[in-house]
């Protein structure tokens, strides 16, 4: 039973409205740097838009979805009212405030530094302070998740934590720790320079700090999606989860290895030694493991559903699946995009292969396919699944939802495949302008134009999504019953205590942070000749 | 009808195996990354220890001779106060009398020396400091910066910033902006000039250029391109000028010299 419906709805609505606005900016960016549009003559507008797009899509949107979903999971899987609802509202308000505070200087052109900050570029301090407020708001959520679980455990000694909640809290701990990197960068390095207290900055160290956040933040975005795979999909399509234990193992593996691998984002940086790059590359290979486990488990769970519906044969069962069910469709699309995106990721994570595509459009294609594609399409599924329980009304036509999901899938493929391709041709990322009349760029023109069309399709899909949710607020009244999660095929008789708590895994995560990041950070922090003058943007 | 699941009590084997596996993985990757691969790269005359240090990213002292290519000593972010102290402008005006023969009594030059009226105070400050520190060198200008004190330089910067950017006689309105100014040359990594020098955005430390003489502009661009002027922070301007063609330098100089009105601060 969901009690904090208003709270959860507020999180989702703010998330999706911000998403809609940022989506428009994204499509505009695709358009202006494609051959379809003339040169806007002012790159600053492009970077301004890009900063807003990245900040909203990277920090505000997924954080709010994870939080709202986390509150829903707490109440429905633990069957207890959310403890600390006031604090939860405070967290929400901090995020709302932080977003506004950050976006004002961005829209005035005072902080066009992109969401990854890129020191020595330095923008208006309010931008960074806004981002810090967003992170602080989300840390309140982390605290609440932990407290709610602890109280439940006290009341249920010797019982296993439901998988959905176990995964949710693992995700929150991962976020708490991974946000520390960017927080250190902002508080110790960037904000003092931005306030004018210092005028030089160790950009290399800042990049190392940011890499601490940058890989695992993607896994934080991914958590709601994986939770949905394990605990919503099997139930929604009338099947059972193939293995509860496999789910637990995947989530604790994410907790341990998602974070101490971020230096694969700095393979081309001179300030980190090759030995550490190799270690990070090797540990990045490990992070494929929980994803492979998940793909296996979910395919098996889906097969169970198909066979329950009379599916036959080694592959014939696929046709017996409830393809008209939006959740089924979403998970299938999500897996296809995860497959392609994951395959591309193998190139990025490999120290040597990365050099061929480093800082090209390939990378932009890659993370849009994974995040915008595989992850976000499941955010849609989560919203569709939860909405009737939040509004107490039916959500209306499944046909519209299917259209929306199809459009998102097609749009994302059309956007990102040409993007990968021009990346291989060597087209750099983060550029406001390409002169396609130059013979060197002509071969890229067609692909970029196609890619922009993909962006337009995404806008249509995104707004259709908002329209469906909006209509859902006024649909027919309909009591949907209590919200539940998928049951495992065989509940394990005994859950190992290690898979019911986090101490061991958090300790390993921190331990690996020390071994994999300790030396590179200390070396840069202790030297006094590694700073460069700040480059202030948007000021004179 | 949920099945209740119990918890196993002992954790020990999990702890041992999880920690064990992690340690082994770390040891193996460290062995490969720090010892085997760096050694296999086979730099002759490199000791094992030196190759480990190299893999760890320990910088070795550079053999490149950096003498004489030091950059500016000015930190531009807080080089000048946002509001200069009251007497500063007056003191600056007195000092500026020695500059007037070249830079003009109103900060607008009748020779080919740069105009200073209305220049951003950070710019004037930085350039004077650079002359004084011998980071920017000019046979004509350098001697006049030599004896200036820190306070003198602050006062001069405040004074010139306070002067009106008056209408220039050299202005030839109607010269079309060349591509290099409007769009830069992205393929060669040149941003539009206006993204630092105003019109699009003012980046701290970038002077405004409108109305400077063609000769001065051309000379500076060439000096940056050849490396005889090297006081720009992080080589921002040298990277631009080096990639410009002779025609582009000429076109940019003509264009900026022809612009009638320097934009107001
Ligand atoms: Cu990564």
pLDDT greater than 80 at residue B208: yes
Q: Where are the domains of chain B?
A: 18-61, 76-162, 179-258
**φ, ψ (nearest 5 deg) of residue A428:** -75, 155
Within a 10 A sphere around the Cβ of A277, how many other Cβ atoms?
A: 22
Which parts of A399-500 are beta strand (E)? Answer: 494-495
Contact yes or no for A535 and B200 at CB 8 A: no
What does the pLDDT look like over B9-57, one tens digit per residue?
567 888 999 999 999 999 999 999 999 988 887 677 778 888 888 899 8
Residue A237: both structure tokens together: 């399509």
| Overall fold of domain A5-478+503-530 | Cytochrome C Oxidase; Chain A (1.20.210)
pLDDT of residue B30: 95
Helix/strand/coil percentages in chain B, nearest 5: 50, 0, 45
Contact yes or no for A535 and B5 at CB 8 A: no
Band (pLDDT 50/70/90 cuts) for residue A325 is very high
Chain B contacts in chain A segment 118-157 (CB below 8 A): 120, 122
pLDDT greater than 90 at residue A330: yes
Band (pLDDT 50/70/90 cuts) for residue B63 is low
Percent of chain A beyond pLDDT 70? Answer: 99
**Most confident by average pLDDT, A276-290, B42-56, B71-85:** A276-290
* Average of per-residue pLDDT across A390-408: 94
* Average of per-residue pLDDT across A109-119: 92
Contact yes or no for B29 and A39 at CB 8 A: no
A37, A38, A43, A486, best to mutate vs chain B, most B CBs in 10 Å: A43
In total, the C-beta contacts within 8 angstroms joining chain A to chain B are: 168
Cα A411 to middle of ligand 1, angstroms: 24
Which parts of A118-204 are beta strand (E)? Answer: 121-122, 200-201
Superfamily classification of domain B76-162: Cytochrome c-like domain (1.10.760.10)
Chain B contacts in chain A segment 21-40 (CB below 8 A): 39
B258 vs B124, higher pLDDT: B124
How far is residue A327's CA from residue A322's CA, in Å, rounded to a whole number? 9
Q: Residue A109 gets which letter from DSSP?
A: T
* Average of per-residue pLDDT across A508-515: 96
Check residue B114 and give left, alpha or beta (phi > 0: left; psi -120 to 50: alpha): beta
B1, B3, B5, B41, best to mutate vs chain A, most A CBs in 10 Å: B5
What does the pLDDT look like over A418-468, one tens digit per residue?
999 999 998 999 988 888 888 888 999 999 999 999 999 999 999 999 999
Active site residues of A: 215, 219, 366-368, 429-430
Band (pLDDT 50/70/90 cuts) for residue A171 is very high
A50 vs A438, higher pLDDT: A50
Residue B41, chain A, CB below 8 Å: the answer is no
How far is residue A439's CA from residue B153's CA, in Å, rounded to a whole number? 50
Band (pLDDT 50/70/90 cuts) for residue A47 is very high
User: Residue B66 burial (CB < 10 Å; 0-12/13-18/19+)?
Assistant: exposed
What does the pLDDT look like over A188-224, one tens digit per residue?
999 999 998 988 899 999 999 999 999 999 999 999 9
pLDDT of residue B1: 35
The closest alpha carbon to B5, from A299, A248, A252, A145, belongs to: A248
How far is residue A278's CA from residue A276's CA, in Å, rounded to a whole number? 5
- Taking CA–CA distances from A273, the nearest residue in chain B reads B57
- Taking CA–CA distances from B53, the nearest residue in chain A reads A273
> Are residues A532 and A281 in contact, defined by beta-carbon separation less than 8 angstroms?
no
pLDDT greater than 90 at residue A89: yes
pLDDT of residue B223: 96
* Average of per-residue pLDDT across A70-79: 96
Q: Using a CB-CB distance cutoff of 8 angstroms, which residues of chain A are in contact with residue B201?
A: 44, 109, 537-538
pLDDT of residue A540: 45
Residue A352, chain B, CB below 8 Å: the answer is no
Band (pLDDT 50/70/90 cuts) for residue A491 is confident
A26 vs A44, higher pLDDT: A26
pLDDT of residue B73: 84
Q: Using a CB-CB distance cutoff of 8 angstroms, which residues of chain B are in contact with residue A495?
A: 5-8
Chain B contacts in chain A segment 315-334 (CB below 8 A): none
Cα B167 to middle of ligand 1, angstroms: 55
> What class is the B179-258 domain?
mainly alpha
Chain A contacts in chain B segment 217-236 (CB below 8 A): 233-234, 236
pLDDT greater than 60 at residue B69: no
Residue B112, chain A, CB below 8 Å: the answer is no
pLDDT of residue A502: 95
How close does chain A come to B190, measured CA to CA in Å? Answer: 11
Cα A215 to middle of ligand 1, angstroms: 4
Q: What is the mean pLDDT of chain B?
A: 86
Nearest to A533 among B52, B75, B191 (CB): B75
Contact yes or no for B30 and A159 at CB 8 A: no
* Average of per-residue pLDDT across A373-394: 96
The closest alpha carbon to A119, from A538, A523, A531, belongs to: A531
pLDDT of residue B61: 65
How far is residue B96's CA from residue B104's CA, in Å, rounded to a whole number? 9
Residue B62, chain A, CB below 8 Å: the answer is no
Residue B45, chain A, CB below 8 Å: the answer is no
Band (pLDDT 50/70/90 cuts) for residue B171 is low
What does the pLDDT look like over A90-101, one tens digit per residue?
999 999 999 999
How close does chain A come to B206, measured CA to CA in Å? Answer: 9
Contact yes or no for A539 and B204 at CB 8 A: yes
Band (pLDDT 50/70/90 cuts) for residue B3 is very low
ipTM of the complex: 0.90
Cα A20 to middle of ligand 1, angstroms: 25
A239 vs B41, higher pLDDT: A239
Helix axes A203-231, A163-184, angle to 10 degrees: 170
Distances (CA, A) of B196 to A212, A299, A514, B122, B138: 32, 54, 41, 14, 24
pLDDT of residue A322: 94
Band (pLDDT 50/70/90 cuts) for residue A515 is very high
How far is residue A370's CA from residue A236's CA, in Å, rounded to a whole number? 23
Helix axes A442-472, A376-391, angle to 10 degrees: 10
Contact yes or no for A272 and B265 at CB 8 A: no
pLDDT greater than 80 at residue B70: no
What does the pLDDT look like over A354-376, one tens digit per residue?
989 999 999 999 999 999 999 99
pLDDT greater than 90 at residue A517: yes
pLDDT of residue B261: 62
| Partners of B6 in the β-ladder | A159, A494
Cα A517 to middle of ligand 1, angstroms: 15
């Amino acid at each position: 039973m969901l009690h904090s419906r208003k709270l959860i709805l507020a999180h989702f609505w703010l998330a999706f409205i911000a998403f809609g606005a940022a989506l428009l900016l994204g499509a505009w960016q695709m358009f202006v740097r494609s051959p379809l549009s003339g040169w806007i003559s002012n790159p600053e507008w492009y970077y301004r838009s890009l900063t807003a797009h990245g900040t909203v899509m990277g920090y505000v949107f997924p954080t709010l979805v994870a939080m709202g979903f986390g509150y829903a999971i707490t109440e429905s899987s633990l069957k207890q009212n959310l403890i600390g609802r006031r604090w939860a509202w405070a967290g929400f308000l901090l995020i709302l405030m932080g977003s506004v505070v950050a976006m004002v200087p961005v829209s005035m052109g005072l902080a066009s530094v992109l969401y990854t900050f890129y020191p020595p570029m330095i923008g208006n301090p309010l931008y960074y302070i806004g981002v810090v407020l967003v992170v602080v708001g989300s840390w309140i959520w982390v605290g609440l998740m932990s407290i709610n679980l602890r109280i439940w455990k006290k009341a249920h000694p010797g019982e296993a934590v439901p998988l959905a909640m176990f995964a949710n809290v693992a995700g929150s701990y991962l976020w708490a720790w991974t946000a520390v990197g960017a927080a250190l960068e902002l508080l110790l390095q960037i904000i003092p320079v931005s306030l004018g207290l210092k005028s030089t900055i160790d950009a290399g160290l800042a990049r190392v700090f940011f890499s601490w956040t940058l890989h695992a933040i993607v896994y934080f975005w991914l958590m709601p999606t994986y939770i949905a795979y394990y605990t919503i999909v099997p139930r929604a399509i009338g099947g059972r989860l193939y293995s509860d234990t496999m789910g637990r193992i995947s989530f604790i593996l994410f907790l341990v290895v998602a974070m101490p691998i971020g230096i694969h984002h700095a393979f081309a940086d001179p300030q980190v030694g090759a030995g550490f790059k190799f270690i990070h590359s090797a540990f990045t290979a490990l992070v494929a493991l929980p994803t492979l486990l998940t793909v296996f488990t979910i395919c098996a769970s889906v097969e169970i559903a198909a066979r329950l519906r009379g599916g036959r044969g080694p592959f014939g069962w696929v046709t017996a699946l409830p393809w008209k069910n939006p959740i089924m469709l979403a998970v299938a699309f999500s897996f296809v995009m995860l497959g392609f995106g994951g395959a591309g990721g193998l190139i990025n994570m490999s120290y040597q292969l990365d050099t061929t595509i480093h800082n090209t459009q390939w990378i932009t294609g890659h993370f849009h396919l994974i995040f915008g594609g595989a992850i976000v399409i499941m955010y849609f599924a989560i919203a569709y699944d939860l909405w009737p329980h939040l509004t107490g009304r039916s959500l209306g036509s499944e046909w519209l939802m299917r259209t929306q999901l199809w459009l998102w899938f097609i749009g994302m493929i059309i956007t990102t495949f040409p993007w990968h391709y021009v990346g291989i041709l060597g087209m750099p990322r983060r550029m406001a302008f390409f002169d396609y009349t130059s013979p060197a760029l002509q071969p890229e023109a067609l692909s970029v134009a196609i890619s922009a069309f993909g962006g337009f399709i995404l806008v249509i899909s995104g707004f259709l999504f908002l329209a469906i949710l909006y209509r859902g607020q006024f649909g027919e009244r309909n009591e949907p019953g209590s919200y539940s999660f998928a049951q495992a095929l065989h509940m394990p008789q005994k859950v190992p205590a290690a898979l019911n708590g986090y101490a061991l895994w958090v300790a390993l995560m921190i331990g690996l942070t020390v071994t994999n990041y300790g030396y590179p950070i200390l070396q840069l922090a202790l030297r006094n000749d590694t700073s460069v003058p700040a480059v202030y943007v948007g000021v004179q | 009808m949920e099945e209740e699941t119990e918890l196993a009590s002992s954790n020990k084997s999990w702890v041992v195996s999880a920690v064990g596996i992690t340690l082994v993985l770390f040891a193996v990757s460290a062995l490969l990354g720090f010892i085997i691969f760096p050694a296999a790269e086979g730099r002759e005359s490199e000791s094992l220890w030196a190759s480990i240090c190299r893999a760890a990213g320990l910088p070795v002292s550079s053999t490149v001779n950096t003498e004489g290519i030091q950059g500016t000593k000015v930190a531009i972010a807080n080089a000048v106060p946002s509001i200069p102290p009251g007497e500063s402008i007056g003191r600056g005006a007195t000092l500026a009398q020695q500059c007037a023969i070249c830079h003009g009594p109103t900060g607008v030059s009748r020779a080919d020396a740069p105009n200073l009226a209305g220049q951003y105070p950070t710019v004037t400050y930085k350039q004077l400091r650079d002359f004084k520190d011998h980071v920017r060198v000019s046979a004509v200008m350098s001697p006049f910066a030599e004896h200036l004190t820190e306070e003198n330089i602050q006062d001069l910067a405040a004074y010139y910033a306070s002067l009106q950017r008056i209408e220039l006689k050299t202005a030839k309105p109607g010269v079309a902006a060349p591509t290099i100014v409007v769009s830069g040359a992205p393929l060669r990594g040149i941003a539009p000039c206006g993204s630092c020098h105003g019109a699009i955005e003012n980046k701290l430390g970038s002077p405004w250029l409108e109305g400077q003489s063609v000769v001065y502009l051309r000379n500076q661009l060439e000096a940056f391109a050849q490396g005889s002027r090297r006081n720009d922070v992080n080589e921002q301007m040298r990277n631009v000028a080096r990639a410009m063609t002779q025609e582009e330098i000429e076109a940019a100089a003509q264009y900026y010299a022809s612009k009638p009105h320097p934009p107001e601060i």
